[in-house]
Amino acid sequence: MALLEVEALGVVIDSPRGPLEILRDVGFALESGRILGIVGESGSGKTMTALALMGLLPPGARAQGSVRLGGRELLRLDERALCRLRGDRVAMIFQEPMSALNPLQPVGAQIAEPLRLHRKMPAAKAAAEARRLLARVHLPDPDRLAAAFPHQLSGGQRQRVMIAMALACGPDLLVADEPTTALDVTVQAQILDLLVELVEETGMSLILVSHDLAAVAETADEVLVLYGGTVVEHAPVAAMLRHRAHPYTQGLFAARPATGLFRAIPGSVPDLAALPPGCRFADRCPLAIAACGDGPPPLGLVGPGHRAACIRLEAAAATAEAS
Amino acid sequence: MTPPLLAVEELVRRYRRPRAFPWRRGEAVAALSGVSFAIARGRSLGIVGESGSGKSTLARLVMGFERPDAGRVLFMGEDLAEAPPARLRQLRRGLQMVFQDPVGSLDPRHRVGRIVGEPLDMLDGAARGDRSARVAAALRSVGLGASDAQRYPHEFSGGQRQRIAIARALITRPALIVADEPVSALDVSVQAQVLAVMKALAAEHEVTYLLISHDLAVIAYVTVDVAVMYRGAIVETGPTAAVLERPLHPYSQALKEAAPRLVAGRRRHRTRPAAPPGEPAAAGRGCAYAERCPLAQRRCREEAPALREVAPGRRAACHFP
Amino acid sequence: MSAVAERGRPARRRRVFRHWGLVCGAILTALLLLIALVSLVWTPHSATAIDLTQRLLPPSPRHWLGTDHFGRDIASMLMVGAQNSILVGIVAVAIGVALGVSLGLLAAAQGGWAEEAAMRLADFTFAFPAVLSAILITALLGPGAVNSIIAIGIFNVPVFARLTRGAARAIWTRDFILAARAAGKGGLRITLEHVLPNIASILIVQATIQFALAILAEAGLSYIGLGTQPPFPSWGRMLNEAQTFLFLAPRLAIFPGLAIVAAVLGLNLLGDGLRDLLDPRLRRF
């Protein structure tokens, strides 16, 4: 049994324009100690997926399907049970460290908080553990830094503080939602290095959500590509680098290849209030045919552990060969 | 000899930090400390830098939104700060800007036609007659339609809005467009649309760009020369292809190294950078990069290196390039 | 295995019509305006004619709300009193808007000393308690509608100045202002063409709320005799005159009281409703 099993996850949110289906039929499994990257652009639903796993969906959002952590169904749990899990078995770090940290509390106290909450540690012991965690995330001078406030730290330092906070109780799963997007590229590399290092040391699993395909490819073991709230491709990274099965993934790779030639995908991401019944990429897809609009394309197997949701996989493979 | 399109000489700009107590003056931060470069017509220049490099300040000074504390900005040989208002209006026709935020750079209360035509209305009275024709032409050249002039910005996507901003920048037929992170706020699949438009227009309309970005791939696609900035100073210059292939300054090398690459393997292929020595240079004296530089030696902390030619056409500010 | 779950904070209010406050407020305000307009050409009876033979009559088909201690028809007095309240309210708020918004726009556009001076001027005015100072001013200048307009108007100026300056400053930081500067536009044109349209909705909302406060202030001034003078009817003065008869004929106080409540409530609901309506739209832009 995998650590995390997600099956047919769907999220609908009420909006002034009616119910919006922001996630449809998302499914994947994650083993202990593995890193999954979730890649998508705006409107892909990648952040919603992360929030759904934590039970942190915004008010008015309804989740359906199944999310099982260690066999336990998370979607059926009430808020109290979820609170016990959050920060303890499953933790999350966010994109904007400045708004995710409390500006009025020293960082040491913020790191100690999960320890005091979930492990009932006395203050002094929690403070000592907090300093140890600061050192673990390679922050210099932990004793002095523990008393600092978030605004006195740089972006990269704040992100490390958030990671330390997430690590405090030794979670089984860490969900990182665009942890490096707001950081400079040199700091980004360090943070991603740190995350991999922690995964290898502690054996926890990591879900890395990002719009940056290359950063995810370098860091993760498997990649899940989302578009318009649906899974379009899911593969081990090595397989995906060799061969992209879905036209959208192919387009994404062509838009930012390592050699710097840009090729855009015409059009823009779908309006969630006006979703087509069939494949959500059809209006931008160079291979779309009439049948693409009939219904959601099934996830077909393309290779070991490699699936793509498209009814024109052979044509896609042919164009990939040609280019 | 014709002067370069844009020449920037020893630009200095300092800001004061807000003060904690009324009797203390705010700490001065040097956003730009002595930046100089020149852009020749037809040779787009890229400015690469991360946060704190001073690149946005540079954009504001080049456009004349702020006055430098020292140094000059010469556009087509004339100092913008000295130009009388009428001459400044003429000069501004040749110098326009595209901003980072596609949402914030268009007035939500104005229609697109009015937005795109704004520089024309203000700067080129003679062209008023065929204003709507020019607006339509500008919209068409960025891949939009003449009828889009009647619509409001919020009816367009991010990529389209950025193209509207480009149409606005183009309408007075400028010689130089300053583009400050023009695609950073856009989805990846859309970035290429906007960059393709920019590149095509450069050829068609003989526009030269001063392109500011933190993204090396964007710089590589559009520009011919590049200058790398760190903490308010230029640390390396040279032709874009050469600098990106073989960066000479340790900071440029770090930038290139840090860029994500499409290689599997949980980052094992990456060289973990040596832990930085951490000791900052003597304030104001040594090289600003010394505290992070793996090659730093004592000389680096005491003497700031000048930007000098270390290879044909390549300049770097380092004692040990 | 499927589980349908309501995630996030449980929605306590399910599908309540979001804009009921706005609608109620709009209706009340419209009623107020309508009554005032109608009273310009027609009232059931004269609002000022005294007829001591008809004193203190209860409501009847002839006198819909009865008569007061001077025999005047209460309904007519309320209608004409509405004119008065609206007039004072509108002009006082207009003074506040004209001077306050100009001051705020100037402060935001200039920055530096001009901004400091303008804001300190506003602070200075804020420092005085509004109603007491209005009393002082009307006591000095003499009672009457015009002077109460001036007194109330003065205290609207800093409200709008502060609000305008804050909102305008936020607009000045946006990139489209820089684009206008790149096109060579100067501060005044930018203020009029870009800044003002973008803050207009905030100002409209505040003006509506200030209107409600102005009506209340006028009623207060009239109550103590410093506002609109007889014979022109005023709700506040009606309240004052009703005091002597409070146990004999409470309707003399209840009807003008209700009129004030309805007007102020209606305008407040309208203002709040407009704010809710316009605010998220602003974000969409």
Summarize pLDDT for B200-244 with one digit per residue, the tens.
998 888 899 999 999 888 999 999 999 999 988 999 999 999 999
| Amino acid A76: pLDDT | 86
What sign has the CA pseudo-torsion C212, C213, C215, C220?
positive
Q: What share of chain A in percent tops pLDDT 90?
A: 52
| Amino acid A323: pLDDT | 60
Average pLDDT over residues B73-100: 90
State how far the Cα of B103 lies from the Cα of C174, in Å rounded to an integer.
Answer: 9
Cβ pair C2:A63 closer than 8 A: no
Average pLDDT over residues B270-294: 65
| Amino acid A140: pLDDT | 87
Alpha helix positions (H), chain B: 55-63, 85-93, 112-123, 131-141, 158-170, 188-205, 216-222, 240-245, 250-258, 298-302
How does pLDDT run across C46-74, given as a tens digit for each residue?
A: 888 888 888 888 888 888 888 888 888 89
Q: What share of chain B in percent tops pLDDT 70?
A: 93
Q: Which residues pair with B98 in a beta bridge?
A: B179
Q: Which residues pair with A36 in a beta bridge?
A: A207, A222
Average pLDDT over residues A182-211: 92
Cβ pair C183:B118 closer than 8 A: yes
C4 touches chain A (CB under 8 A): yes
A-B C-beta contacts closer than 8 Å: 111
Position A205 pLDDT exceeds 90: yes
CATH code at C2-278: 1.10.3720.10
| Amino acid C91: pLDDT | 94
pLDDT tier at C196, thresholds 50, 70, 90: very high
Cβ pair C184:B104 closer than 8 A: no
Average pLDDT over residues B73-99: 90
Let me know if C169 is exposed, middle or buried by CB neighbors in 10 A (0-12, 13-18, 19+). middle
A86: DSSP letter: B
How does pLDDT run across B25-43, given as a tens digit for each residue?
A: 666 777 888 899 999 999 9
Residues 133-192 of chain C whose Cβ lies under 8 A from any Cβ of chain B? 174-176, 178-185
State how far the Cα of C99 lies from the Cα of C107, in Å rounded to an integer.
Answer: 12
Of B191, B258, B264, the CB nearest to A238: B264
| Amino acid C16: pLDDT | 56
Give all chains having 3 or more CB-to-CB distances under 8 Å with chain B.
Answer: A, C
Average pLDDT over residues A3-29: 90
How does pLDDT run across C210-235, given as a tens digit for each residue?
A: 999 999 999 988 998 888 888 888 99
- Domains parsed from chain A with CATH numbers: 4-89+171-322 (3.40.50.300)
Average pLDDT over residues A293-300: 88
Position C283 pLDDT exceeds 70: no
Lowest mean pLDDT among A300-304, B26-30, B183-187, C199-203: B26-30
| Amino acid B277: pLDDT | 45
Ordered by start, the domain boundaries in chain C are 2-278
Cβ pair A63:C5 closer than 8 A: yes
Tell me which chain B residue has its CA closest to the CA of residue A249.
B189
pLDDT tier at A168, thresholds 50, 70, 90: very high
Average pLDDT over residues C145-158: 89
Tell me which chain A residue has its CA closest to the CA of residue B52.
A184
Cβ pair A62:C5 closer than 8 A: yes
The values of phi and psi at residue C178, to 5°, are -60, -40
Average pLDDT over residues C238-256: 90
pLDDT tier at C10, thresholds 50, 70, 90: very low
| Amino acid C2: pLDDT | 38
pLDDT tier at C1, thresholds 50, 70, 90: very low
State how far the Cα of C71 lies from the Cα of C47, in Å rounded to an integer.
Answer: 10
| Amino acid C9: pLDDT | 44
Alpha helix positions (H), chain C: 20-41, 74-110, 112-127, 130-141, 145-172, 175-182, 187-190, 196-223, 235-242, 251-284
Position B21 pLDDT exceeds 80: no
Q: Are A55 and A82 in contact (CB under 8 A)?
A: yes
Average pLDDT over residues A138-156: 90
Average pLDDT over residues A147-166: 91
Position C83 pLDDT exceeds 70: yes
State how far the Cα of B79 lies from the Cα of C125, in Å rounded to an integer.
Answer: 46
Position C15 pLDDT exceeds 70: no
Average pLDDT over residues C109-128: 87
State how far the Cα of C122 lies from the Cα of C124, in Å rounded to an integer.
Answer: 5
B122 touches chain C (CB under 8 A): yes
Position A210 pLDDT exceeds 90: yes
| Amino acid B283: pLDDT | 56
Cβ pair A258:B262 closer than 8 A: yes
Q: What was the ipTM of the complex prediction?
A: 0.83
| Amino acid B160: pLDDT | 92
Average pLDDT, chain A: 89
Average pLDDT, chain B: 86
Let me know if B245 is exposed, middle or buried by CB neighbors in 10 A (0-12, 13-18, 19+). exposed
CB < 8 Å to A58, chain C: 8
Average pLDDT over residues A214-236: 93
| Amino acid B295: pLDDT | 81
- Chosen from A62, A72, A86 to mutate, greatest number of chain C CBs within 10 A: A62
Q: List Cα–Cα distances, A265 to B117, B184, B190, in angstroms.
A: 29, 17, 7
Average pLDDT over residues A215-234: 94
Position A221 pLDDT exceeds 50: yes
Average pLDDT over residues C135-151: 86
Among C165, C157, C177, smallest CA distance to C116 is for C165
Position B58 pLDDT exceeds 90: yes
Average pLDDT over residues B140-152: 91
Position C13 pLDDT exceeds 50: no
pLDDT tier at B260, thresholds 50, 70, 90: confident
B-C C-beta contacts closer than 8 Å: 61
CB < 8 Å to C178, chain B: 63, 65, 97, 99, 105
Position C156 pLDDT exceeds 50: yes
Tell me which chain A residue has its CA closest to the CA of residue C2.
A65
CB < 8 Å to A63, chain C: 4-5, 7
pLDDT tier at A322, thresholds 50, 70, 90: low
| Amino acid B20: pLDDT | 64
Position B107 pLDDT exceeds 80: yes
pLDDT tier at C4, thresholds 50, 70, 90: very low
| Amino acid C135: pLDDT | 84
How far away is chain C from the Cα of A68, in angstroms, using its nearest Cα? 10
| Amino acid B105: pLDDT | 92
Q: Which residues pair with A20 in a beta bridge?
A: A13
Cβ pair C7:A64 closer than 8 A: no
Cβ pair A255:B188 closer than 8 A: yes
Cβ pair A214:B278 closer than 8 A: no
Residues listed for chain B: 321
Residues 127-156 of chain B whose Cβ lies under 8 A from any Cβ of chain C? 153-154
Position C6 pLDDT exceeds 50: no
C5 touches chain A (CB under 8 A): yes
Q: Are A227 and A248 in contact (CB under 8 A)?
A: yes
Position C3 pLDDT exceeds 80: no
Average pLDDT over residues A218-245: 93
| Amino acid A258: pLDDT | 55
Q: What share of chain C in percent tops pLDDT 70?
A: 92
- Chosen from B122, B154, B162 to mutate, greatest number of chain C CBs within 10 A: B122
Average pLDDT, chain C: 86
- Chosen from B109, B151, B166, B212 to mutate, greatest number of chain C CBs within 10 A: B109
Average pLDDT over residues A214-230: 93
- Chosen from C7, C276, C281, C283 to mutate, greatest number of chain A CBs within 10 A: C7
CB < 8 Å to B263, chain A: 217-218, 241
Cβ pair B63:C197 closer than 8 A: no
Of A59, A62, A65, the CB nearest to C9: A59
